[in-house]
Amino acid sequence: MAESEVDFESEKYEKLREAGEILSQVRAETADRVEVGASHLEIAEYAEDRIRELGGQPAFPVNISIDEEAAHATPSIDDESTFGEEMINLDIGVCIDGWLADTAITVDHSGNPELAEAPEQALEAAIDIIEPGVETGEIGAEIEDVIDGYGYNPVVNLTGHGLGHWEQHTTPTIPNRAVSQGTTLEVGDVVAIEPFATDGGGKVTEGASEEIFALEREGSVRNRQAREALEQITEEFRTLPFATRWLETSRPEMALRRLKRNDIVHGYPVLKEDDGCLVSQKEHTVIVTEDGCEVTTA
C-alpha cells in the first residue's frame, strides 16, 4: 500500500488504537491477579468481563498456558484448576467492531526469570527494526538472536501474524527465527509480533485437549442445542475463536461435538512443547508507519 493511501486518522486505525488501549490495561490488571492458588477460571473470566466493561469484546478466549503449554489452553466450564509455582503465559485479545489487538505476557512463578525475560527482550529488539521495507525474515533473525543469547531456543513452529478485520490470523507471518524468504512490511500493515522461548528443543505439537473453537463454514444441523450454539456463534463471534464456556445453550460440549462432526466448526488443540519443557511468551500488536511502527498494546 502506498504511503499516500494510508490515513492513520481513519476509523479503522482509531479502533485499532482503542482496542490496544483497552488490552494494555486489561493485561496489566490480569497479570497482577495471577498468584499461586488463584483460579484459572476466575482469572480468565475477570479479563474477559473487564474487556467488555471497558467497551470492547474479547477477540478470543483468554489463553492461560502453563509450563510446557504454549497456546490454545483456556479454562473449561467447571474448571477447578489453580496456579502453582509454574510458568504462566497469558494471551489476551480485544475486538472493536472487528478491529483487533493481541498481546501476551509471561508471569513467572517457576523461578526461571531469565526464560521469562528472553521473549520480552526479543520483542523489543524486533520492534526496534520494524519499518516499511523490512522483511519478516529479518524480524525473525532479531528474535532468534536475542533468545539464543539467553541460552534458550525460539519456538520455531509458532509465529507472529497479521491482524485483519474479523481475522485473528492473517498474512504476513512473522517467524521467530531467521528465514531466507519473507514478506516485506508496508505502511499501514497491522501485525502481532509474538516471540516464544523455551529451554527445550523449540517445537510444539498438538495435545488432546480442546476448549477453543471457531466457525469453519455455514451449515445447518437438526439438533436443538447445536442449532442454538450455531446461531450464537454466527451472530456473536462470527469468524473469531470462542470458548466452550461462552456458549449459552444447554449441553454445549455435545452441541460442539455435533458441529465439529459436520465440519461446521473446528477446534484448536492445546499446543505443547515437544520435550515437555517450559515455554515463555511476549506479544505486542503494532501498526507499521512511515518511519517505524506504533505499538498499540504498549
Binding site residue list for a divalent metal cation: 91, 102, 161, 194, 283
What gap in Å lies between CA 298 and CA 294, rounded to an integer?
A: 9
Q: 136 is written with which cell numbers?
A: 519478516
Q: Which residue in 69, 102, 108, 189 is the catalytic one?
A: 102
DSSP 151: T
Question: CB–CB of 46/33 below 8 Å?
Answer: yes
Binding-site residue set = 72, 91, 102, 161, 169, 194, 283
* Beta-carbon count within 10 A of 177 CB: 20
Q: Is 91 a residue of the active site?
A: yes
Among residues 66, 57, 72, 70, the alpha carbon closest in space to that of 84 is found at: 66
- Catalytic site residue from 165, 169, 274, 294: 169
At CA 31, angle to CA 27 and CA 36, rounded to 5?
A: 160
> Is-catalytic flag, 102?
yes
- Please tell me the distance from the alpha carbon of residue 107 to that of residue 87, in angstroms, as a whole number: 6
CB atoms within 10 A of CB 88: 26
List the binding residues for substrate. 72, 169
**Interatomic CA distance for residues 236 and 85, integer angstroms:** 36
Instruction: Find out whether 105 and 27 touch, Cβ atoms under 8 Å.
Output: yes
Annotation says 194 is catalytic? yes
Which of 69, 142, 194, 273 is catalytic? The answer is 194
- 109 in catalytic set: no
C-alpha cell at 249: 445453550
Please, which residues bridge with residue 167 across strands? 164
Indicate which residues carry an active-site annotation: 91, 102, 161, 169, 194, 283
